[in-house]
Amino acid sequence: MKSILLVDDHRTFLAGTAFILEKYGYRVTTAAKAADALRLMEEAPFDLFVIDLKLPESSGFELAEAILRSFPEAIVVVLTGEDIAEHFDHLLALGVTAVLEKALGEEELAASLRLAEQRLTVLPVELARRLRATGSPADGGAGPTGPALSERELAVLQLIADGSKNKDIADRLFMSQRNVEYLLSGLFRKLGVQSRQEAVLKAVQEQWIRLGSP
């Protein structure tokens, strides 16, 4: 059973969401503020962190940053009623895996969390469409301030953005997994990043790849 730390200062929403997630097979621990969440995550491990952006005393941004600083591989999901588009770049830069709206139905919420468990980036459809409309296909070039990337490096970035694991990338590009790992190490150095999420964010910002590309 996967464990979730659910953080929200609205008690009714917190209790209702915990009930829904437990119905879908999660073990849920709740906290109403960031300080409580930080204490709880030191006491026990969690598979997912689901947090609101608006919290008393410390914001969801600060909480997400603290979680990922302590546990860089943590899966952090933002579940908020705020305007997601306004905060998307900041959240992705922090390393957040999914950004979800509180208006989601319970089945959509559960499905989104299942995807996040696989480290697939999950976004609302409207936001994904907006990003797709403003992006441009990778064409082998780099942005005005970006490093030059090879076609293979761009292909790897696109596959990462699509949720592919190293084995999937190796199969798709007819490479060994070891060569994929070597390529990623060099790519991270070239981009000045330390994670797959940061690499994807950089590639999207530079318009080398698109989120949601087929």
Three-state DSSP string of 49-101 = EEECCCCCCCCHHHHHHHHHHHCCCCCEEEEECCCHHHHHHHHHHHCCCEEEE
Sequence ranges of the chain with CATH classification 1.10.10.10: 136-205
Residue 44, pLDDT > 60, answer: yes
Cite the residue boundaries of each domain of the chain with CATH code 3.40.50.2300: 3-128
Q: What is the largest CA-CA distance in the chain?
A: 51
Of 43 and 178, the structure prediction assigns the larger pLDDT to 43
For a pLDDT cut of 90, what percent of the chain falls above it?
A: 33
Residue range 3-128 in CATH 3.40.50.2300? yes
Distances in Å between the alpha carbon of 97 and those of 73, 141, 178? 10, 27, 25
Yes or no: say if 173 and 133 are a contact pair by the CB < 8 Å rule. Answer: no
Q: Note the pLDDT of residue 58.
A: 83
> Residue 121 and residue 89: Cα distance in Å, rounded?
13
pLDDT of res. 15: 95
Let me know: does 167 contact 209? Beta carbons within 8 Å.
Answer: no
Tokens 């949720």, located at residue: 163
H or E segment and range at residue 142: none
Question: Comparing C-alpha atoms, which of 111, 88, 110, 80 is closest to residue 13?
Answer: 80
pLDDT higher than 90, residue 74: yes
Chain-wide mean pLDDT for the chain? 83
Question: Order of strands across the sheet with 98-101?
Answer: 27-31, 3-7, 48-51, 76-80, 98-101
Q: Among 1-10, 44-53, 80-89, which stretch is predicted with the lowest mean pLDDT?
A: 80-89
Q: Which has the minimum average pLDDT: 2-6, 80-84, 137-141?
A: 137-141
Checking phi first, is residue 206 left (phi over 0); if not, alpha (psi -120 to 50) or beta? alpha
Distances (CA, A) of 112 to 47, 59, 109, 188: 14, 23, 5, 28
The pTM of this model reads 0.61
What percent of the chain is predicted at pLDDT more than 70?
Answer: 86
Q: Distance of CA 196 to CAs 144, 156, 174, Å?
A: 22, 10, 20
In this prediction, residue 130 carries a pLDDT of 61
Q: For residue 82, what pLDDT is reported?
A: 76
The rounded distance, in Å, linking the Cα atoms of 110 and 21 is: 7
Mean pLDDT of 34-56: 93
- Compute the average pLDDT of residues 120-147: 56
* End-to-end CA, the chain: 32
pLDDT of residue 213: 45
Question: Under a CB-based contact definition with an 8 Å cutoff, are residues 120 and 77 in contact?
Answer: no
Contact, 149 vs 119, CB < 8 A? no
Q: Residue 134 has what pLDDT? A: 54
Mean pLDDT to the nearest integer, 54-80: 90
Q: What is the average per-residue pLDDT within 76-103? A: 82
CATH placement of domain 136-205: 1.10.10.10
